[in-house]
Amino acid sequence: MSTTRYLTTLTLSGVLLGSLIGLPAVLAETAEEKGLAIAVEADKRDTGWGDSASHLTMILTNRHGQESTRENHNRTKEVDGDGDKTLIVFDTPRDVKGTALLSFTHKTTTDDQWLFLPALKRVKRISSANKSGAFVGSEFAYEDISSQEIEKYTYRYLRDDTYDGAPCFVVERIPTDPNSGYSRQEAWYDKEHYRIMKVAYFDRKKAPLKTLTFHGYRQYLDRYWRADEYLMENHQTGKTTKLLWRDYKFGNGFSDKDFTKAGLKRAR
């Protein structure tokens, strides 16, 4: 989940080529071009990992400090030229154990999602238009945790900054989907590895809504960075959600057959 992909349009190749052959970045480069170039570079660096599996613990905290915990395990597969395929199987609370969500994300069209309800053995195709909806009651919206394709935003480079001591580019991202719950986002990319360190979200009325920070980045397959911890703080409600990722495994050899509606019924 939350990975990006390489785009091979002529325009983008031009931008990349420009930076590769060492032309000064300032030469006729607008803030929009620079913002897009940063997103493309981050995406390029996180392409080619194939598939992954992990366990996720979500800790939901309300403004009174009361916590509730949810756990799931999940599998993701990169798809050439399109968004990722993801299967999430819930483990706790025990009343949702076995509930499974299959998502096919797409670069430009709406995602496909199926939900398996174990008590009825029923698979339901669900509307993915609820992008702004809360994911299992947390402070993460579906659009925050689904595959972050380049095409889902337009970009503008804002400024340089430091985050946690690391020099960063700050890039504004404006969602292209009218169903998005955000007017804009600001994302901090570290200059060394192009990892996203922090995202500030602004609601449709342009007021600050949430801040997401990433902690404990680790490198896998000597190349791909994954954070152990995501922390989402909602400034309007005082609620937070912490995501703790563990047991990342790459190179599982998943095929499209591991991500089917029929297979959802026996997902464990």
Partner 1 sequence: MQQSVQRTVVGLLLTALASLWVGALAAQAEAPEVSGNATLEIRLFPQTTAYPGQRSQSVSLSFEPEYYQPFGSHSLIITPFIRADSADGRRNHFDLREAYFLYVAERFELAIGLRKVFWGVTESQHLVDIINQTDLVENPDTEDKLGQPMVHLLLPSDYGTVELFALPYFRERTYPGRRGRLRGPLPVDPDRTTYAAGAEQYHLDLAARYSHTLGPWDVGLSHFSGTSREPNLTPTAGGTVLAARYPLIQQSGLDLQLTWEQWLFKAEAIHRTGQGPGYYAWTGGFEYTLVGLFGSNMDLGLLGEWLRDSRGRSARTPFQQDILGGMRLVWNDAEDTQALIGGITDPRYGTLSVFIEASRRVATSTILSLELRLSDAPADDPIFNAVDQDDFFQLSLARYF
Give the residues lining the site for partner 1 (CB under 8 A): 60, 62, 68, 92-98, 110, 112, 120-134, 136-138, 179, 181, 257, 260-263, 266, 268
- Local structure of residue 12 (DSSP, 8 states): H
* H/E element, 75: strand 67-79
How many Å apart are CA 62 and CA 44, to the nearest integer?
A: 37
How many Å apart are CA 168 and CA 173, to the nearest integer?
A: 15
Min. distance of Cβ 213 from partner 1 in angstroms? Answer: 21
Residue closer to partner 1 by CB (options 124, 159) is 124
Q: Distance between alpha carbon 76 and the CA centroid of its chain, in Å?
A: 12
Min. distance of Cβ 132 from partner 1 in angstroms? Answer: 6
Min. distance of Cβ 15 from partner 1 in angstroms? Answer: 32
Min. distance of Cβ 94 from partner 1 in angstroms? Answer: 4
Residue closer to partner 1 by CB (options 185, 241) is 241
Residue closer to partner 1 by CB (options 134, 166) is 134
Interhelix angle for 31-45 vs 10-20, to 10°? 90
What count of other Cβ atoms lies within 10 Å of the Cβ of residue 39? 27
- Local structure of residue 141 (DSSP, 8 states): B
Residue closer to partner 1 by CB (options 4, 240) is 240
Residue closer to partner 1 by CB (options 168, 267) is 267
Min. distance of Cβ 7 from partner 1 in angstroms? Answer: 23
What count of other Cβ atoms lies within 10 Å of the Cβ of residue 264? 17
Instruction: Report helix, strand or coil for 56.
Output: strand
